[in-house]
Every structure is written in C-alpha cells, then in structure tokens.
Amino acid sequence: MTGGPGPAVPSTLIRGSVVSMARSVALSVFVLAGAGLLFTLVASATLVVDAVRVSSPHGYLLALAAAIIGLVLWLCLIPLVLMAIRPLANAVRLLSGTWCGVPCCEPYRAAEPGRQLRSRLRWLLTDPATWRDLLWTALNIVLGAFLLIVPAVVTGVGLIAFIGSRVTKAIPPPAYPGNSSPSILVAGVALTVAGLAVAPKFLSGYGVFSGWLLNSSSSRELARRVRHLTRTRKETIDAGAAEVRRIERDLHDGAQARLVAMGMTLDAAGQLVHDNPQAAHALLEQARENSIQALKELRDLVRGIHPPVLADRGLADAVRALALDTPLSTHVICDLAARPPAPVESAAYFAVSELLANVAKHAHASQAWVDIRYADGMLKISVTDDGRGGADPARGTGLLGIERRLAAFDAVLAVSSPPGGPTGATLELPCELGTAGHPAK
C-alpha cells in the first residue's frame, strides 16, 4: 500500500498558486508606477490647456505666451518620463522571465557616442523600443491590472467577505437572495479556489502580454545583432590598427634605435681597435649593453603581443606571473578544468592586465584578488581590490577600452565601485573549454 505522496500534490498546487498570486501583487506595483508616470504627462497637458483657457479673456498674446511656455515645459517632460519608464520596463522584462516563464531581452539601441543633449535625445526618441515601452505602460494600466489583480481580488472576496463573515461578526455577510450560512461558505470556498486556480494562468498571461510588447521580435533582434556586429567589427579593426601602430612605434623608438646605435658603436670600435685598444674595449662594452637592452625591449614587445607563458602554460599561470609583477599584493584563484580558446585566453589575459594596472595606478589599494572559473558556458573572471572605489567607465578610457575589446567576443564587463570601495570588476566571456592542457579550437 502506498501513501504519503498523495496529499503532497494539493499542497504543492496551493503553494504554487499562492506564490503566483504574491508575484502578481508584486508586479502590480509596476502598474501603479506606470500609471503615475502617465498621469504626470496627462495632468501637465491638462494644466497647459487650462492655462491657455484662463489667459484667453486677457488677450491673445498672453494666451499664446502661456501656450508656448506650457508646450515647451510639456515637451521637456516627455523625455524624462520616457527615461523613467525604461527601468520599470527592464524590471518587468527580468521578472517576466523568472516569474512568468516568458524570457525578455532588452531591445534598446546602443547609446550613441557623445554626451551632447541633442544626441542623447535623438538616441532616446528614435528608438522604437522607447515607444513600445510607452504603449506597454498605457495598456498595462488596463490589461495588466486585470491579469494581475483579478485573482487576488476574487480570492480576497471569497476569504474575507464570504468565509470571514462566518468566522467573525465584525464582517457583515454578503447580501444576496438566499444568503444562508452554508451557501455563503460554499460561495466563499468556490471564489477562493477559483482565484487560486487562475492565478498561475493569469500570471503566465501577463508574461505573454508583456513579452509581446517588451521583447524583441526576430527581425528587430536580427537588426540589433547586425548593428552590434558592425560596431564591434569596426572597433576590432580600429584596435588592431592601433596595436600595429604601437608595435611599429615601440620598434622604431626602442629596439631599432638601440640596434642602430650598436652598429655605429661597433664601427667606431673597429676603427680604434689598433690605435686605442682600451677605448675600443669600452665601446664594445657599450655595444654589449645596447644589445642587452635591445633584447630586453624585444622580449617586452613580444610579451605585449602574446606572452610566451600564456601560450605555453595557459591563462592561470600567465595571470599568476602577471600578479608577481604587480606592485601590490595580488591573490589569484583559478578553477579551470581545461583551457579556453587561444583568442579568448589572450583577451581575458590583457583585460586582467589592464584591470590590475588600473588598480595599481588609481585605486590606492593594498591588495587585489583575481578569481577565474568556468560555469554555464562562460569564462568568468572577477578582479577585486580594497581601494578607495569611485571607478566609472564613463569617465575614463581604460575601462571603455576593455569593453570595446571584449565586445568582439560578446563578452560583458560589469563594474561595481561605490565611493570608499571596494571595487569589483567581473568579466564574462562565452566560450567552450578544450581538453586538459590544450586550448579549444
């Protein structure tokens, strides 16, 4: 005879319905917030119309001035409301995937370079996702509120107005023909069960409704992807050209100059070797020093292109070697079962190198921690320090440069740096690991 699992099924269903209803109530907060933002727009437009109406009896010029001033203020208010709607829409996109089972991606265009007000407004107002957000906000007040609130209202009416009136005399019984105590209890139980039963369905329906407006369609997603690839290709080409110029400059100003000087020194030593052997010996010593310095600079140049330790021993040992050269105490933790592809290794190494260089230059930190691991198809690297914080990618080119280089790999750089510290930077690069000791192809 079996027993035990049977009663657990209804309790699991009830628990799931209660959780769905609680999530619906939580999502209704975004309905209220969106209604408040739309009310701000409508109320401000109403005030403009009222100002014009009040000014009309006092002359057309005064009415025209009131209309122009009110219209300008209202037009200035529109971008602020649209920007305020974006965090609401993004929060619903996130919760739609985790709570409603309808994943939504962020469909906004990348911000245009430059901080001029005109370019920021053009970026905001010409993005179709902005106006879909506004349409979603308006429909959310009606359809969204219906899908989110109806189950809670039905359940609340059944529990409080019907069943509650039989539990306490403080709640008067509902008035309808034949409202006997049994009928009130039956109706209360029916309403409560109905509200709990439809709560998961209505929550899923809300996810479908929100995804229909807030999610990217396949064509929009394809267009966004093409724009992203076009931008990253240009940035990769620019970064490659800049790297070639850097190598040429380092060769010209460093090793090449030393090799030319060494050749001239050897010529001079050859002319003095019979007449003044002591001076010739000193010139040969100088030439030897120049050759040592040229060799060192060539090694540094090669290390800047692709460090031999990275090619031979992999990312973990390369980052440990990098930590040894860092002026502050750096702790490296690595948990990689195998090596990532060589391009990913190289990008990750130079990103960590740049982050540690920023820590040493700007953070006023005494320690740093580098954590490298692989999970969920991602190479995840975090660099943390105990410095003063306040790092902002928008204020400097170092972090922006890392973002641009990583964009070619569809990688993500997230920086958390509150004033006072600590600062944490997290890199996530999608890749597959190779076999142990060998990078993936």
Any domain includes 410: yes
User: Are residues 39 and 175 located together in one domain of the fold?
Assistant: yes
pTM score > 0.75 for this model? Answer: no
Does the pLDDT of residue 202 top 90, yes or no?
A: yes
Separation in Å, CA 196 to CA 20, 61, 152, 402: 9, 61, 8, 50
The neighbouring-strand residues paired with 430 are 378
User: Are residues 244 and 169 located together in one domain of the fold?
Assistant: no
Any domain includes 436: no
For the chain, state the CA radius of gyration.
Answer: 34
Say how many CA atoms lie within 13 Å of 79 toward its Cβ: 15
Q: What is the spatial distance between Cα 438 and Cα 235, in angstroms, rounded to a whole number? A: 29
Residue 60 or 108, more confident? 108
User: Are residues 290 and 260 located together in one domain of the fold?
Assistant: yes
Task: Give the model confidence (pLDDT) of 30-47 as tens digits.
Answer: 999 999 999 988 888 787
Any domain includes 440: no
User: Are residues 296 and 352 located together in one domain of the fold?
Assistant: no
Domain stops at, among 240, 271, 305: 305
Separation in Å, CA 90 to CA 41, 105, 123, 133, 268: 21, 9, 17, 10, 72
Task: Give the model confidence (pLDDT) of 219-258 as tens digits.
Answer: 566 666 666 666 666 666 666 666 667 666 666 666 666 7
Measured torsion, CA atoms of residues 206, 207, 210, 212, in degrees rounded to the nearest 10 = -110
User: Are residues 182 and 254 located together in one domain of the fold?
Assistant: no
Residue type, 282: A
User: Are residues 116 and 41 located together in one domain of the fold?
Assistant: yes
Nearest to 136, CA basis, from 259, 274, 27: 27
CB atoms under 10 Å from CB of 122, counted, come to: 12
Q: Domain containing 395 — which CATH number?
A: 3.30.565.10
Domain stops at, among 185, 214, 243: 214
Query: Number of structural domains, the chain?
Result: 3
- Give, rounded to a whole angstrom, the gap between the first and last alpha carbons of the chain: 57
Q: What is the spatial distance between Cα 408 and Cα 344, in angstroms, rounded to a whole number? A: 10
User: Are residues 315 and 370 located together in one domain of the fold?
Assistant: yes
User: Are residues 195 and 328 located together in one domain of the fold?
Assistant: no
Any domain includes 268: yes
Residue 378 or 114, more confident? 378
User: Are residues 155 and 276 located together in one domain of the fold?
Assistant: no
Judging by beta carbons within 10 Å of its beta carbon (0-12, 13-18, 19+), is residue 178 exposed, middle or buried?
exposed
User: Are residues 283 and 363 located together in one domain of the fold?
Assistant: no
Residue type, 104: C
Q: Helices 145-156 and 5-55 meet at what angle, rounded to 10?
A: 120
User: Are residues 227 and 338 located together in one domain of the fold?
Assistant: no
User: Are residues 289 and 189 located together in one domain of the fold?
Assistant: no
Judging by beta carbons within 10 Å of its beta carbon (0-12, 13-18, 19+), is residue 189 exposed, middle or buried?
middle
Task: Give the model confidence (pLDDT) of 369-423 as tens digits.
Answer: 999 988 888 889 889 888 888 776 666 556 777 777 777 777 888 888 888 878 8
Q: Which domain holds residue 229?
A: 219-305
Nearest to 203, CA basis, from 89, 93, 101, 91: 101
Any domain includes 84: yes
Q: What is the spatial distance between Cα 387 and Cα 355, in angstroms, rounded to a whole number? A: 13
Any domain includes 351: yes
